[in-house]
Structure 1
Amino acid sequence: MPIKPLSDSTLKNLLERIDYASQGEIRSLTPLSSTSIEIRFSVQDIARGYDWIDILFRVDGVSDAKLVSDNVLRGLDMSEGITVELTSSSTALAIGSYSGRTNEAPFYILGTSIGYEELPFSA
Structure 2
Amino acid sequence: MRPLSKNEIESFLSRFERFVDSEVKSITVQSPTVIEVRLSVQDSALGFDWIDLSFELSNVSEANLIDNSKLAYLDMTEGISIVFEDNKFVFCYGDYSSIRSAKDSALFVICDSIKYEELPFSG
With the length of structure 1 as denominator, give the TM-score of the two structures. 0.93
In the TM superposition, 1:78-117 aligns within 5 A as: 78-87=76-85, 89-100=87-98, 101-117=101-117
Query: In the alignment, which residue of structure 2 is the partner of 1:12?
Result: 10
Q: How many Å apart are 1:8 and its aligned residue?
A: 2.4
Q: Which runs of 5+ in 1 are unaligned?
A: none
Q: Give the Cα separation in 1 of the matches to 2:117 and 2:10.
A: 15
Query: In the alignment, which residue of structure 2 is the partner of 1:31?
Result: 29
Q: Give the Cα separation in 1 of the matches to 2:66 and 2:6.
A: 28
Q: Give the Cα separation in 2 of the matches to 1:122 and 1:21.
A: 16
Over the matched positions of the two proteins, sequence identity in percent amounts to: 39
Equivalent residue for 2:49, pick from 48, 51, 58: 51
AA partner of residue 106 (structure 1): A
SS in 2 for 1:74: helix
Aligned length: 121
